[in-house]
Amino acid sequence: MNVLFQKDNSGYFAYCPDLKGCHSQGVTFEEAKENIREAIELYLETMSPEELTSFSTNREIISTVMEVNFA
């Protein structure tokens, strides 16, 4: 399952792009990891059997840092 994390002044924000609206947060990276794991499990529990059989996590997500110029 693809999960993205973003650090800010309050801690870490985590979201799962494979599951629309599935996100969580934590003060530490470990806490955010545990919280998003729980959010994903709960999300999957709410899916119907038909949704689960058609669900695919085979998307490749590529993340990179880019430098850009701005005024």
For residue 4, CA distances in Å to 17, 29, 41, 64 come to 8, 11, 16, 12
What is the pairing mode between strands 11-15 and 23-26? antiparallel
List Cβ neighbours of 1 (8 Å cut-off, separation of 6 or more): 16, 18, 19, 40, 57
Backbone φ and ψ of 34, nearest 5°? -65, -40
Q: What pLDDT is stored for residue 48 in this prediction? A: 92
- The architecture that CATH gives domain 4-54 is 2-Layer Sandwich (3.30)
Per residue in 36-61, pLDDT (tens digit) is 999 999 999 999 988 888 777 677 88
Q: What pLDDT is stored for residue 62 in this prediction? A: 85
